[in-house]
Amino acid sequence: MIPNQTRSPSFGFPSRKQAWRWLAPLFLALLFLTTLIWLPLHEKQQEAAERQEQLIADSLWVEQTIRFQLQRNEESLGLMGSEIVSGYLVGKRLLDRMEGLIRNNHEIHRIIQLDADGKLLTSTDETLITFNELSAPSKRANERARTTRTPLYSQPATDISGPVMIDYHVPLFVGNKYIGSIIASYLASSILDDMVPWWFAQDNEIALTDINDVIIHKRASGGAGRGVYTHRRALNLAGLSLKLSTNSIKSAPKLLPSLLVDTVILLSLGLAWSLIALWRDINRRLAAETALREQIAFRTAMENSLITGLRARDLEGRVTYVNPAFSQMVGMPAEEIVGHLPPMPYWAPEARTEYHRHFSQVAAGTANPQGFETVFQHSDGRRIPVLIFESPLVDNTGAQTGWMGSILDISDRKRVEDLNRQQEEKLQASARLATMGEIASTLAHELNQPLAAISSYTTGALNMLERDKSKAAEVNIDMLTHALEKAQAQAQRAGQIIRSVHTFVKKREPMRTAVTIEELIDNVAPLVELQAQKYFVFIKIDIPDNLPAVLADHVLLEQVLLNLTRNAIEAMQNIAPEKRVLRIAAAVDESDPPNVVVSISDQGHGIPPEVAERLYSPFFSTKADGMGMGLSICRTAIEFHGGTLTHADNPGGGTIFRFSLPTLQNRLIDTTMRANRR
């Protein structure tokens, strides 16, 4: 008899293995449904976060745009104040400058100038009569600016003309003496209406508030903000703190009702397709990776073989890549350069300010596309002149991640330029020596006259002393003084001729100074007269008294005058004596900007058309013993000063040579404009 086996009661519950069979799919299904529910919510939250981040980024850009424009205006007003203090901007010229600044910057409502007592001197607003018509905050800001000697903004206040204005005060001082102020008034409405881009205003409500959140002006061209996406940004100005508040008109993202059902269907179909496509994608990926490795190897080999230095930087200026040519150029391995933020180890100490300014221009997108010249410091201390080209570095999505720079070592080019400059200087010096050689005989004759006169006067004085001494009579002081004065005048005349020749032939570096045409002609007059006397040429000079000065190297211009006058004199040696007239004239032309034009006219044989075509070519000459470099050097010297050299037929016979030079005032204005652009 087999005993009964004991069985544990099941009570109808499934076994553990059976439970896992249905719990696992249930868990996966719940996980799948949870994912389907979580994904739309997460997408909604992510979209809201992206909109908020975009609003913050756009608000920061708008704030920077407003701040940059105000800073530009501050620099323009500061420059205007400096020119008023220097005495350059007065009267109509100052008013034109003010009105021009307002035309180019519509956010500025008016600009006025006050004297030290607060009286109105100049104003672009014809309705403004006295300083007392400004608001009380503007008066307080003017006093603070005068006390601190720094430009300040006033608190927003309602102007007498109605709208709310913010005044910018620039105090003017000559030494420690306060002479007045320049006040530029901004319309609070124009700060938002003229400085905020239309595309930003269409999607956002923008408000300008004070530190107490009191609204100064609001712009809601796209509608009222919904309060979902908002941002506030402080706009700190000198003496004034404002807030730029933005409120997007966009609402919170919404979920589509059929999103869950559509997602389930798409996921089910996508699951089957993905299994099939997975194998194909793996094979394609392996092939793409192989091709990518080959491309990277080729690119690396190509970059390593370049002689041009390559340097990549991120948006903060940090170096992310350099090629071997760049490392060799600065004498540093890539490990010592990559990862560095400015200042870089290869920067020359004397050029750091220039580097920072160039990087700011690159970041602002205003860098010169023709490249930027500077110097790098080699690890051994040598200075290397380089030419840098910068361009945006973008990823595969088109987003900018930094800048890519190409660096060329231009040491050889600089050496060639220095050699060419030295050769040009030697050629000019040789031309001046050749000119002196051509008039050497006349010069010797001219010097012989004052030397003979000096000998005669001194011999007469000695004879008179000896005669009076033998007769025991008193010396005739008047006659002796007259003889010595005559000898002194002749010695000074000879010395002036020698100094003119020495100054003309001396080798020197070009140096520009403020000179007048009258001074230039006076300096070369002795040498021109020597040549004119040889051919019995009469010289006629017509120089107005009020002719403006030019910024020039006087020796180069004297060489031009001497070459042109010599050619004119020699052109008249075979004509009738009564027609041998050399005219030297100068005047201001009517161009914009005006220039000083100097003309040298002769009544000689003229210039044939076949000669005129090659007149300025180097080594071309119509003289048997000429070098053919005179007119070429003259044109080079005039173009060095920013002018032009031309010739034309003289209606009375002969030729007229004219050269133009920018006036000193135009040169200063052009230099100031280039400094502002930098």
Taking 60 as the threshold, does the pLDDT of residue 86 lie above it?
Answer: yes
Tokens of 173: 């001082």
- Residues above pLDDT 70, as percent of the chain: 72
Handedness of CA 426, 432, 436, 437 (dihedral sign): positive
- Residues above pLDDT 90, as percent of the chain: 6
Tell me how crowded residue 390 is: count the other CB atoms within 10 A of its CB.
22
Q: At residue 378, what is the residue type?
A: H
Q: What is the fold of 306-409?
A: Beta-Lactamase (3.30.450)
Taking 80 as the threshold, does the pLDDT of residue 514 lie above it?
Answer: yes
Tokens of 335: 């490990």
> How open is the CA angle 433-435-437, to the nearest 5 degrees?
70
28-57 tens-digit pLDDT = 667 766 776 676 676 677 777 888 888 888
CB 119 within 8 A of CB 134: no
pLDDT for the residue 369: 67
| Token pair 């608001």 in the structure block, residue | 135
pLDDT for the residue 153: 92
Distance from C-alpha of 379 to C-alpha of 398, rounded to nearest angstrom: 37
Tell me how crowded residue 7 is: count the other CB atoms within 10 A of its CB.
6
More confident residue, 623 or 309: 309
Distance from C-alpha of 324 to C-alpha of 340, rounded to nearest angstrom: 17
Taking 50 as the threshold, does the pLDDT of residue 162 lie above it?
Answer: yes
Residue 90's SS3 state is coil
Q: Where are the domains of the chain?
A: 58-248, 265-302, 306-409, 431-504, 510-678
306-409 and 510-678 share one CATH topology?
Answer: no
pLDDT for the residue 329: 84
- Residues contacting 24, CB < 8 A, separation 6+: none
Q: At residue 37, what is the residue type?
A: I
Which range is least confidently modeled, 278-287, 380-389, 443-452, 459-468?
A: 443-452
- Residues contacting 254, CB < 8 A, separation 6+: 44
Model confidence at 464, pLDDT cuts 50, 70, 90, reads low
Mean pLDDT of 579-599: 86
Residue 649: enclosing H or E segment and its boundaries?
strand 644-649
pLDDT for the residue 6: 41
Distance from C-alpha of 22 to C-alpha of 253, rounded to nearest angstrom: 38
CB 76 within 8 A of CB 673: no
The DSSP 8-state label assigned to residue 663 in this structure reads B
* CA neighbor of 114 nearest in space, from 81, 154, 87, 162: 81
CATH class of the domain comprising 58-248: alpha beta
Selected from 3.60.15.10, 1.10.10.10, 3.50.50.60, 3.30.565.10, the CATH number assigned to the domain covering 510-678 reads 3.30.565.10
Model confidence at 247, pLDDT cuts 50, 70, 90, reads confident
637-667 tens-digit pLDDT = 888 788 888 888 888 888 899 998 888 776 6
Taking 50 as the threshold, does the pLDDT of residue 5 lie above it?
Answer: no
Model confidence at 479, pLDDT cuts 50, 70, 90, reads low
* CA neighbor of 170 nearest in space, from 155, 184, 186, 187: 184
